Every structure is written in C-alpha cells, then in structure tokens.
Structure 1
Amino acid sequence: MNCFAGFTRETPTGFLAMLRFAEDGQAEPVLAPGGKPMVYPTEVEAWRAVTASLLRYFNGRMRREGVVITSARVEANRIFRKGRVIQVESR
C-alpha cells in the first residue's frame, strides 16, 4: 500500500513516535542520534516528533521515485543555457 502513517505508542518509560513510509512495510520509531528509539515523556511531544519528521520527509530533497535534486542540474544549466532566460508564453 502506498500509505504514510504516523502515530504514538505507549511504553513503560514514555511514548515512541512511530512512522510508516510508503516504501516500508512496517512502522518504525523515530531514532535518537545514537540509533536507538527516542522515548518522549509525554504523548504530545511524541506527536510533535511525528509531525516534524513527516514534514522533513515531505519537504526533503526527493522529488519523484528515486530522483534527488543535485547541484549537477544547476551546473548543467549554467554551462548550456549560459544565463539565458527562456520566455514561456501562455495563450
């Protein structure tokens, strides 16, 4: 399924922020810098982490399946277009 999901899961020590991306088969927790699941003291903080992580993913560098915006395109446009502006007229 091409679905994204975000939810919280309660643990004995706090709450986990869980994310499921379309390319993954199961939800995974938001990780701390050391690679271990980040445990949040309140559910609200976990929901904030879910929201922030999903927004970072959606507003990231990925543009379509497997294509990443790189500086190579900018460099190619600089070389071949030589700064010319291409006018586009709509009718």
Structure 2
Amino acid sequence: MNHFAGFTTPVLGGHHAMLRFAEDGRAEPVLGPGGEPKIFPTELEASKAVTESLLRYFNGHMRRDGETITSARDAAERIFRKGRMIPVEHR
C-alpha cells in the first residue's frame, strides 16, 4: 500500500522522529551526522523534524517505477531536440 507516516517515539534521552515511506513499508528514524538515529530533546522538536523531512521528500525528485522524472525528461529531450521546431498542422 502507498502509505506515508510520520510520528515520534520516546527513547532514553529524548525522542526519535520516525518516518515511513511507501516504498519501504516500515518506519525508520531520522538520522543525524554519521548515520546514527538522531535523538531530539523534546517531542515537539522531533515532530518538527518529521514535518521537515516529509516536506523535503515530497518536494524533492518525485519518482515513478524507480526512475526519477529527470531521466524521463532526458529521454524525451533526445527525441524532441531542444530548439528544433516541430511543425504542427491544424485541421
């Protein structure tokens, strides 16, 4: 199923910001420097990190079938060269 989710989980020392993306199917924590799960001191800060991460994902390179849209655009550019006029006949 194509479900996305974001939530916080209390851990020793604070909270983890957890994200679940449709292609993964399981929740994973937001990672800090070094690839370790980042621990936020408050639940509010963890919730803000969830929101920022989801927005960054949705506003990034959207994909379809594992390919980025730029690869589809590049393929189209090879066929319909930039600057080349393609005459369109109106009936």
For the superposition of Structure 1 and Structure 2, which TM-score range results when normalised by the shorter chain?
0.7 to 0.9
What TM-score, normalized by structure 1, do the two folds share?
A: 0.77
* Identity rate, percent: 70
Deviation at 1:34, TM superposition (A): 0.4
Q: TM-score, normalized by length of structure 2?
A: 0.77
Which residue identity lines up with residue 33 of structure 2 in the other structure? P
Q: Please state if 1:56 is matched with 2:56.
A: yes
Q: Could you tell me which residue of structure 2 aligns to residue 67 of structure 1? A: 67
Query: What is the CA–CA distance in structure 2 between the aligned matches of 1:71 and 1:81, rounded to whole Å?
Result: 15
Match of 1:41 in 2: 41
* Runs ≥4 residues deviating over 4 A: none
Aligned length: 88
Per the TM alignment, residue 75 of structure 1 is displaced from its structure 2 partner at its CA by 8.7
Name the structure 2 match of 1:6: 6
Q: 2:29, 2:18 → 1: CA distance?
A: 4
CA distance in 2, matches of 1:76, 1:57: 25
Write the distance in 2 (CA, Å) between the matches of 1:65 and 1:79: 21
CA deviations 1:16-57 (Å, max 9, x no partner) are 000011111210000012000000011111001000111111
Q: Superposition RMSD on alpha carbons, in Å?
A: 2.7
Structure 2 residue ranges without an equivalent (≥5): 87-91
Cα distance in 1 for residues equivalent to 2:37 and 2:85: 49
Q: CA deviation at 1:12?
A: 1.7
Point out where structure 1 has 5 or more consecutive residues left out of the alignment: 87-91
User: Within 1, Cα distance between the matches of 2:18 and 2:43?
Assistant: 12
Q: Which segment drifts farther, 13-22 or 75-84?
A: 75-84
Partner of 1:29: 29
